[in-house]
Structure 1
Amino acid sequence: MVKELHWEDEDRFILVLDDRHNIEGKTWFTAGSDVVGVVPKIKGLHRRQLEVAPPGTRFYGKAYYLKKGFDGNPSLLIRYDRVKLPGQDERPICFVVESRSYGFKDGRVQAGNFNEGSVVDRWP
């Protein structure tokens, strides 16, 4: 993953967590469901991200709910296991986004739909 994509462990990229929902506000994610993240066309993306994960890059993964996330509070965790950069084939990855949870009900977790994630060498 790292060599082919020119990514480095702990690179951080900004993305819309699930392209089926609005970039603004809070979104309900179903635990265990598939999500498709996308790097938006916005100003302010870091130069490194523009070089190795430009706008239009699509991330494929699954949403999960953590009762106790990294900060000790409930959170949304998305594990993206594949990526498709514009004009390239899909490739396997390990990319994780953890986001603050605003609620959990009926197997769904509410969180913001715009966040930053990071490249990891293994799943948390």
Structure 2
Amino acid sequence: MKTPPPAALTQGRTSRASKTFPAAVECASLSLAAALMAGCPSAQIRPESFTCPAGAEQAMRENLRWTDGDRFSVVLDDRHAEREYVWFTAGEEVVGIVPKSASDDRQRQVAPPGTRFYGRAYYLSEKMGRADGPALVVRYDRVKLPGQDEQPVCFVVETTADAFKDGRVKSSNRSSGYVVNRWP
């Protein structure tokens, strides 16, 4: 039996390019902000609600001695200076750290300076249901206290977004966040 020539093998298949919808082509040509306003699908900017990571509630309550609503001061992304204004990319992984200057007695006991938070940055706007203006939201789902193993947590920082451009949010790199029992 003779193998058909390569042209015959692809003749009956429709290429991906011919299946592209006009709206998809239009969305691909827009900036992220314009694409979002046009209703185009894109990278995740707004965090979806979901439950905490497995074991987080128990780890926070029993191992870390955290309670729902505890507030901690944190440098949002350890790659930048504490008092710097930083451009965060929506969906980007960030590592927060409790600064040496954290002075709250409760925090120093249960989330001391050097504690590292691991999570992702997101953006919320008025169009996404935020009433107080645009915000940077960082969800940290893991923590590592100095000298301890990494543990699952639910810790959220929500702070004012000073600017938004091309899927990036500009905000202060230091803020306080709070312990939650589910993602808001």
TM-score normalized with structure 1 length? 0.95
Shift of 1:71: 4.6
- Which of 155, 159, 182 matches 1:95? 155
CA–CA separation in structure 2 for the residues paired with 1:13 and 1:70? 23
**Which one scores higher on RCO, CA 8 angstroms, separation ≥ 6?**
1
Is 1:77 aligned with 2:137?
yes
Q: Which residue of 1 aligns with 2:109?
A: 51
CA–CA separation in structure 1 for the residues paired with 2:131 and 2:84? 22
Instruction: For residue 103 of structure 2, give the secondary structure of its aligned residue in structure 1.
Output: coil
Residue pair 2:124, 2:130 contacting (<8 A) in 1 also: no
TM-score normalized with structure 2 length? 0.65
CA–CA separation in structure 2 for the residues paired with 1:25 and 1:90? 27
In structure 1, stretches of 5+ residues that fail to align are none
Aligned length: 123
CA–CA separation in structure 1 for the residues paired with 2:131 and 2:76? 20
Structure 1 outlier segments of 4+, above 6 Å: none
CA–CA separation in structure 1 for the residues paired with 2:131 and 2:176? 16
Shift of 1:25: 2.8
CA–CA separation in structure 2 for the residues paired with 1:95 and 1:2? 13
Deviates more, 1:85-94 or 1:70-79: 70-79
Say which structure is richer in helix. 2
- Which of 9, 12, 21 matches 2:71? 12
Is 1:30 aligned with 2:89?
yes
